[in-house]
Amino acid sequence: MVAGKTVCLRQLSRGNRALEVRFNRFLGHDKVTVDRIIESWSNSTGPAVEGRHVLAIQDTSEIHFNTTPQRRRGLGEIGKGNNHGVLLHPLLAVDADDGSCLGLLSGQIWTRAGRRTTSHDDRELSDKESQRWISTAVAARPLLTKAAAVTVLGDRESDIFALYASSAKQHFHVIARSMHDRKLADRSSLYEASDAMAAVDQRMIQLPARAARPARLAHLELRFGAIELARPQNKLLHHLPKSLPLAVVDVREINAETGIEPLHWRLLTSHEVTSIEDAWRIVQWYKQRWIIEQFFRILKTQEPQARRQSDRIRRSASQAGCDRRQGGRHHHPASAGPQWWSPAHSRGLRQRPNWRAHSPQPATRSREQATKEPTSAR
Ligand SMILES: [Mn+2]
């Protein structure tokens, strides 16, 4: 459906009635549930994490499907409410030491039923979309028992006190980019404290290209220090510890060219950061977040490699005498799974996928954690 860019089974089957019926039967089967499909993502990830320090990287992405006001096909609003589709929030395992991708761990897929009318602060965490950051990490716990260490890693959306508390409880480490200034246990503010820390090192770091930004070499200045983060003053959070000991690693770009918004990351982490090397290591790990953005991009745009592969499958299928236009009764063994699931089906669709690779304004931000902060260099 993502590759074919539609949830309409008839369109996905491209006029092939037998295919449409099979598709319908598959999805209508009692054993085919969203939970079971998500569970299957991680089949081979559990063994792969053994003995490693795993970066458990999570992020949310919007998957947009074309609908009409008359026919929403059960899809809720995404973006600023101008599009309809589903939200995908996966947790990806990456080896912290060598950056290799170990597979998916857990995740959530949902569509919004409507708009919220209660203000964000008055809702229990379980009633907020931001709960996904916590529950997705907790769901991966059984798969990570053999990992040497686990660091839950996310962008500014994951700057959630309850996530830091939950990670400590799970014996997970955490790295998150700060979204907003917070109170520290001594009543001072996080940003005041990090601004007051001495700049201890400088380094040039290559930043990969993003949607609205070319790749560039950034000249960064480093600060770090231990902090005691105070629990936010919200009666719904009273069950959490009064404060949490964390470290802040502050990297900010100096000498940025005019017209370029300087990068400024304030990374909050439970890892011990006592040396310059420790602090740069946190920055390096945070940079691995780029891998999940690549994952979304490949999923949504059917990168050339996937297309080439689908061409190969189609060619070998026709060589083997399987004519897909004739009812598709014969499946070539090279195509993984039923034909309608094969990437070959994305070919020939009239519209080019218009997914936006990691939308610059994820709906979850506008709904849950609306902020006036700039969206670049997340
Ligand atoms: Mn995000």
**How far, in Å, is the centroid of ligand 1 from the Cα of 36?**
25
State the distance from the centre of ligand 1 to the C-alpha of 360, rounded, in angstroms.
9
pTM value is 0.75
Q: How confident is the model at residue 78 (pLDDT cuts 50, 70, 90)?
A: confident
- For residue 39, the tally of other CB atoms under 10 A from its CB is 13
CA of 193 from ligand 1 middle (Å) equals: 26
Residue 336 clears pLDDT 60, i.e. is over it: no
CA 124 to ligand 1 centroid distance, Å: 21
Q: How many helices (H) and strands (E) does the chain have?
A: 11, 11
Centre of ligand 1 to C-alpha 21, Å, is: 37
Ligand 1 center to residue 4 CA distance, Å?
24
For 227-239, the pLDDT digits (tens) are 999 999 999 999 9
Q: What is the number of other CB atoms lying within 10 angstroms of the CB of residue 208?
A: 12
pLDDT of residue 73: 73
CATH class, 33-302+353-368 region: alpha beta
Answer yes or no: are the C-beta atoms of 205 and 218 closer than 8 Å: yes
What digits encode the pLDDT tens for the residues 27-75? 888 888 888 888 888 888 999 999 999 999 999 998 888 878 887 777 8
What is the residue extent of each domain of the chain? Answer: 33-302+353-368
266 alpha-carbon distance from chain centroid? 19
List, for residues 338-365, the tens digit of each pLDDT value. Answer: 323 333 333 333 333 333 333 333 333 3
Q: Which carries the bigger pLDDT value, residue 79 or residue 218?
A: 218
Distance 87 CA to ligand 1 centre (A): 11
**229-286 pLDDT, tens per residue?**
999 999 999 999 999 999 999 999 998 888 888 999 999 999 999 999 999 999 999 9
pLDDT of 328 higher than 80: no
Pairing outcome for strands 149-154 and 173-177: parallel
pLDDT tens digit sequence for 129-139: 789 999 999 99
Least confident of 65-79, 91-105, 281-295: 65-79
Distance 378 CA to ligand 1 centre (A): 8
362 Cα: distance to centroid of ligand 1 (angstroms): 7
Which residue bears the tokens 């092939």?
Answer: 16
φ, ψ (nearest 5 deg) of residue 316: -65, -30
CA distance 120 to 31: 36
Q: Scanning the structure block, which residue is given the tokens 């400088």? A: 202
Mean pLDDT lowest for which of 38-52, 96-110, 305-319, 342-356? 342-356
